[in-house]
Structure 1
Amino acid sequence: MIRSLLQARLHDPFGLLGLHREGTGWVVRVHEPYATDVDLLDNTGGAAFKRIHPAGVFEWRGSSEPALPYRLRMHYGSVTHDIFDPYQFPPQISPQDLYLLSEGKLQQGYRMLGSHAVEINGVQGARFAVWAPNAERVSVVGEFNNWDGRVHPMRSHGSSGVWELFIPEIRQHALYRYEIRNRDTGQILTKTDPYAQGYEHRPGTAALAAPPCQHHWQDGEWMAQRAQWDWLHGAINIYEVHAGSWKRHPDGRFYTWRELAVDLVPYVKGMGYTHIELLPISEHPLDESWGYQATGYFAPTSRFGSPDELRHFVDCCHQAGIGVILDWVPAHFPKDDWSLSRFDGTALYEHEDPRLGFHQEWGTHVFNYGRNEVKSFLMSSAHFWLSEFHFDGLRVDAVASMLYLDYSRKAGEWLPNKYGGRENLEAVDFLREMNIMVHEEFPGALTFA
């Protein structure tokens, strides 16, 4: 196992690292490639580890179990750093959530996957989780470990394909990615987190260990009225806005969400509109795409401010009697190799066959709606925006491209469904289930094509 660990191939790091009972005694193993020495800290001082491999594998043995949670003192020459050992903490993801993910029924996957500030056994830190079923090994890499995939390999949740790791004392907004080793080819990929709730400013692509929401909503009256709204007979007048081009500062800077709340809301109100429709605001790498080629399905773009500042904008709209509709893009995603494309070295979110999985007109990948974990991903994204940001509806982009297998394709460039037709039956099922969820979970919220 040590050989696999040092080759960054170990599938089950928790089977080797951390605290274990062996015979009548206890052992703690640590892998820190940059450390010169390691001590186990307890109430009586420190107990030195023995280096058992020159590449940075250390071991402590004792007759008594260390008090939990135990700390380690890492020596880097003359410099020391005290940490909690990540490999002493139990898994946090429930079997029920893993089951729902695999069944395509996990509607709040953003609470399970991604990075989350949590406290475990009295220790603050960040819990990371990602779906990569064809990986031999997945590691969290970031500015906190020199982007080194050997340092923080993750726990595998078996056939679910989910990997998890709690790293203590990670600071808020720390940059991170996942390093993934494909189990068949050995290919090493570095990917941003599909479920991240924040990313660094473009052109950077790393995810952020995002802090929890601090915004206190003041739109209770609006939400209560919306739930009773007779939307089938109500009048709607929608003002469509691209937040990045509606207005800019003289030096070309975007208006922030707070600035838009000051300028845009009274303008829309004075013009007699009932709703604002925001063109896509999910994180995206290219300004010119206007957000229609998204890479962050659970993160507002950092161009206009923080997630809490977006909440403030929506809150101001609601207090002014203005609804907010979000343009949402579950039809396709870009080919950027640091994002969803061939995420674990295989066609995971897309189809392997380009006749199903590649959109020739836009040069993007088509989601595989027939894969349950992809359905959970997209259902969770819809739920996220409506729940976390109080949006009043989703305008689903490019629905025709989702519904028809021959959309923008010539004869011989597409594959028929199981009945020989052109309808994408899996996409139809997804849209139906998504609409049911929206109307059941968010009374008064609407969906548009």
Structure 2
Amino acid sequence: MGLAAEDVDAIVAGRHADPFAVLGLHQVAGKWVVRAFVPGAESIEAVDPKTGRRILALGPVAGAAGFFEGTASRRKTRFAYHLSITRAGHHWVADDPYRFGPVMGDWDEYLIGEGTHRQLWRVLGAHVMTHEGVAGTHFAVWAPNAARVSVVGDFNTWDGRRHILRRRGQTGVWETFIPGIGDGDVYKFEVLDRDGHLLPQKADPVGFGAEHPPRTGSVVRDIRDHAWGDEGWMGRRAALHRVDQPISIYEVHLGSWRRVPEEGNRPLSYLEHAEQLVAYVKDMGFTHIELMPISEFPFDGSWGYQPVGLFAPTIRHGTPAEFRAFIDAAHNADLGVILDWVPGHFPEDPHGLAKFDGTALYEHADPKEGFHPDWNTMVFNYGRAEVSNYLIANALYWLQEHHVDGLRVDAVASMLYRDYSRKEGEWIPNKDGGRENLEAIAFLQNMNTTTYGEVEGIMTVAEESTAFPGVSAPTDAGGLGFGFKWNMGWMNDTLSYMSEDPIHRKYHHSKMTFGLHYAFSENFILPLSHDEVVHGKGSLLDKMPGRGGDKFANLRAYYGFMWGHPGKKLLFMGSEFAQGAEWNHDSSLDWHLLDIDLHKGMQVLIRDLNRLYRDHPALYTRDTKPDGFEWIEENNGDESVFAWVRRGMDGAAPVLVLSNFTPVERAERRIGVPEQGRWVERLNTNSEFYGGDGRGNFGGVQSEDVAASGRAQSIKITLPPLTTLFFELERD
């Protein structure tokens, strides 16, 4: 019936370029012919899907084991059928995937080819659906240089000859609909490269689920129709993400925040985090939770920063539906959720994106551009429209499908510069001969423009460690377009200062003041992140000089300095109660330390600092404006004393902040103040509530007409050792 021998041979070998032209239902010489290929089958019949009655028997094709063909001589029109199969004493009935037409439309093809399909995840990947009246899953993947792509899984005994995808035009996309496949089924793509060589089986680049590592299969997940309950939060979050609002972020690694020792020391699930983590962060007064990467990743030791499944919430804590329940719980507690997002690189794991179709598809072919020496990872080819579109669509996916409130983009500096961590001769200049990665810059600008333009109320944050200009400036002004930037310089300088013995701090005084020279050049977040408590750096408490109580006093004073300084706040988990040990991603935080007064006191201090911060607009409304900050004492290195005023808007009461970073009490210390009135002591890091000895100013002091610090008015206070004080003006 018009069947060429070379077609049969190619089908049996799994090398046919267009199996849909051979298998399935076809009209040949005016008759309807059914062809099927089921390796090992002994007999096949086409049967009525409703009644199970035989329509026709398929006969084996000589010399082609598993290939069957039959003619429906009495059928005049196209008909539906199932295949009734017998093999080795087993019998089953299955629908024929080759009888279904394509799912993708021409418009999707056009947008994918152009690199402008902003909702790429709604076309590519594995989608549970009903197609032509039959329930199943649609699979689609981009592999333009492949000779053949198949879906493999338990449903076809991982035989890549069984479910070969249909090539769609010139876009490089392959697709198929497989009936009977649904939520929870494991699959991979089997790819033959352009030379016909079989590649390692690949996980789905747009898969919504994955197996538990170390298994590497993708898992079909139905992400349709989640019943969200966060309408109130979504409607008001835009107002909460402005630069004139208080933003205090608790950074969390879900795998080690808290574990269950009674159950093999397992990490908490998304649902358990929805209850325990959300309640804790809310009680501590933070405004946002920032999650270290939760996109699926193969190696626990990467902490998620080497992702393979960019569209899959890691199964380590549950399913996509359970992840969404966590987001819902956070929003209903008035907490935003920021995800660490990693578009800078990806690992070389054979089941991942590297050489996906046998060519450098997602990465650069030249290792001088496509290989990252710091992490032994691959660098995305941002100049390729399809790759840039893939990443931008991924950003939109998390923001739209999972209601995530923001993305903190990891390692932006490594993206901006072609010579990042590379020696001379190991990198390729840009088209103008410079070191800037112009394609990455354009990608970041496009990503920010698109996400802010399409999703109301979100925020993007750059972890950028250089002096690259305009990171948080609008793209139409030449900036990168981020909402905020981590202030890495402030973090490095101030931690360096705090690690000094107090007797030597006067020689490093400028490290605490230098940040104010550029504090208003970007929309800054002050980060004390996980990076400061790993790789032998010790904990924040361990960085403090002295012993016992002095270490805690130093850290309390430093936290006070941070919360009084211009910039939003970020603190890594465990630092709020002064965990003594360096962070270990394989074990829980040391929650038992809260039984010790000094650790409990530190936790109470962070809770009170967050409350003070939220309740006093002077501490946040002009974070990005020079007129919101005024030095009172900037150059008092001999005493290691710092004093400044924070100002709000519309006549809000100013706040005076003072830090003493020596173990010497400054009794009856006169400090100039900008206005007359009573200055009420709102917080004292030396309070007994926090583990201090309680020395302070009995609630506040009245200003006097005595000049000091270049001001006509002054107050006389006790400035306890290793302490930060906050005073708020009550005007006469």
TM-score (norm 1): 0.97
Cα deviation for residue 414 of structure 1 reads 0.3
1:124 is paired with a residue whose SS is: strand
Q: Answer yes or no: is the 8 Å Cα contact 2:363–2:379 preserved in 1.
A: yes
Residue pair 2:223, 2:320 contacting (<8 A) in 1 also: no
Q: In the alignment, which residue of structure 2 is the partner of 1:264?
A: 277
Structure 1 residues 56-65 or 426-435, which shifts more? Answer: 56-65
| Residue of structure 2 aligned with 1:5, choices 7, 11, 14 | 11
In structure 2, do the counterparts of structure 1 residues 209 and 439 end up closer, same or farther at CA, with 3 Å as the change threshold? same
Is this contact kept in 2: 1:189–1:345, CA < 8 A? no
Count of residues paired in the alignment: 449
Structure 1 pair 65–41 and aligned structure 2 pair: CA distance change class (3 A): farther
Equivalent residue, structure 2, for 1:448: 461
Counterpart residue type for residue 11 of structure 1: A
SS class of match (1:186): coil
Displacement, 1:230? Answer: 6.1
Deviates more, 1:279-288 or 1:179-188: 179-188
CA distance in 1, matches of 2:225, 2:319: 11
Deviations 1:336-383 (A, max 9, x none): 011111111111110110000000111000000111111121011101
Contact 1:101 1:372 in 2 (8 A): no
Q: Per-residue CA shift, 1:125-166, capped at 9, x if unaligned?
A: 011111111111111110101100111111011321111011
Q: Which amino acid aligns with 2:67?
A: V
1:349 aligns with 2:349: no
Q: For residues 206 and 157 of structure 1, what CA distance do their matches in structure 2 show?
A: 25
Match of 2:96 among 78, 85, 88: 85
Please say which of residues 23-32 and 212-221 is displaced more in the overlay.
212-221
Map 1:148-167 → 2, pairs under 5 A: 148-167=159-178
2:67 is aligned with 1:57: yes
Counterpart position of 1:194:
205
Please name the residue that 2:132 is paired with: 121
| Equivalent residue number for residue 25 of structure 1 | 31
CA offsets per residue over residues 86-118 of structure 1, 9 Å max, x none?
Answer: 111111111211221222211111111111101
Match of residue 493 from structure 2: none
Any residues of structure 2 matched to 1:367-382 within 5 Å, and which? 367-382=380-395
Displacement, 1:444? 1.1
Instruction: Give yes or no for the alignment of 1:246 onto 2:252.
Output: no
Any unmatched runs of 5+ in structure 2? 1-6, 463-732
- In the alignment, which of 307, 321, 330 is matched to residue 294 of structure 1? 307
Assess if the C-alpha contact under 8 Å between 1:181 and 1:188 holds in 2. Answer: yes
State the distance in 2 between where 1:50 and 1:199 align: 39
Contact 1:181 1:189 in 2 (8 A): no
What secondary structure, in the 3-state scheme, does the structure 2 residue paired with 1:191 have?
Answer: coil
- Structure 2 counterpart of 1:113, one-letter code: L
User: Shift of residue 22 of structure 1?
Assistant: 1.2
The aligned counterpart of 2:664 is none
- Partners of 2:364 and 2:460 in 1: how far apart? 26
The match for 1:76 is 87
Paired amino acid for 1:325: I
The answer on whether the counterparts of 2:59 and 2:69 sit within 8 Å (CA) in structure 1 is yes
Q: Secondary structure at the match of 1:381?
A: helix
- State how far apart, in whole Å, the 1-side matches of 2:138 and 2:389 are: 20
Find 1:319's aligned residue among 332, 337, 349. 332
Alpha-carbon separation, structure 2, partners of 1:397 and 1:129: 29
Distance in 2 (CA, whole Å) between partners of 1:416 and 1:282 is 32
- Confirm or deny: 8 A CA contact 1:127 1:166 kept in the other structure: yes
Q: What do residues 276-306 of structure 1 show as CA deviations (whole Å, max 9, x unaligned)?
A: 1111001001111110000010000011111
Larger radius of gyration: 2
Return the offset for 1:213. 4.1
- Aligned residue in 2 for 1:181: 192
Partners of 2:117 and 2:389 within 8 A in 1: yes
Aligned-partner SS, 1:159: coil
**In 2, Cα distance between equivalents of 1:354 and 1:291:** 23
Specify the alignment match of 1:278 in structure 2.
291
Q: Is the 8 A contact 1:281 1:300 kept in 2?
A: yes
Q: Aligned equivalents of 1:62 and 1:312: distance in 2?
A: 51
Give runs of aligned pairs for residues 413-432 of structure 1, distance below 5 A.
413-432=426-445
Is the Cα–Cα contact under 8 Å of residues 189 and 344 in structure 1 kept in the other structure?
Answer: no
| C-alpha deviation, 1:395, in angstroms | 0.2
Distance 1:65 1:177, change over 3 A: farther
- The CA RMSD over aligned residues, in Å, is 1.4
Residues 261 and 317 in structure 1, CA contact (< 8 A), matched pair in contact too: yes
Q: Secondary structure at the match of 2:266?
A: coil
Partners of 1:173 and 1:239 lie apart in 2 by 33
* Residue number among 91, 115, 126 corresponding to 1:104 in the alignment: 115
Which is further off, 350-359 or 242-251? Answer: 242-251
CA distance in 2, matches of 1:146, 1:45: 26
C-alpha distance in 2, partners of 1:332/1:339?
12
Q: Is the 8 A contact 1:215 1:312 kept in 2?
A: no
Residues 165-204 of structure 1: CA distance to partner in whole angstroms, max 9, x if unpaired?
A: 1110114211111110012252433111111100011110
Distance 2:150 2:455 in 1: 36
8 Å contact from structure 2 (residues 152, 158) kept in 1: yes
CA contact (8 A) 1:131 1:162 kept: yes
Contact in 1 for aligned 2:221/2:320 (Cα 8 Å): no
* Structure 1 residues 65 and 423: alpha-carbon distance in aligned structure 2, compared to 1, 3 A threshold: farther
Instruction: Provide the rounded CA distance (Å) in 2 between the counterparts of 1:337 and 1:230.
Output: 40
Q: Which moved more, 1:261-270 or 1:238-247?
A: 261-270
* Cα 1:230–1:331 shift into 2, 3 Å: closer
| Structure 2: distance between partners of 1:68 and 1:369 | 47
In structure 2, distance between residues paired with 1:151 and 1:65: 28
User: Which letter does structure 1 place at the counterpart of 2:168?
Assistant: H
Distance in 2 (alpha carbons) for counterparts of 1:229 and 1:249: 34
Distance in 2 separating the partners of 1:155 and 1:89: 11
Q: Which residue type is aligned with residue 45 of structure 2?
A: D
Letter in 2 for 1:331: G
Unaligned runs of 5+ in 1: none
Distance 2:131 2:295 in 1: 31
Query: Partner letter of residue 65 of structure 2?
Result: A
Q: Per the alignment, in what secondary structure is the counterpart of residue 61 of structure 2?
A: strand
Aligned counterparts of 1:375 and 1:106: Cα–Cα separation in 2 = 10
Bigger Cα displacement from structure 2, 43-52 vs 273-282: 43-52
Does residue 140 of the first structure (1) align with residue 160 of the second (2)?
A: no
Shift of 1:78: 3.1
| Residue 411 (structure 1) aligned with residue 424 (structure 2) | yes
Residue 47 (structure 1) aligned with residue 60 (structure 2): no
The structure with higher relative contact order (CA 8 Å, sep 6+) is 1
* Distance in 1, Cα, partners of 2:196 & 2:226: 45
2:245 corresponds to: 234
Equivalent in 208, 211, 219 of residue 230 of structure 2: 219
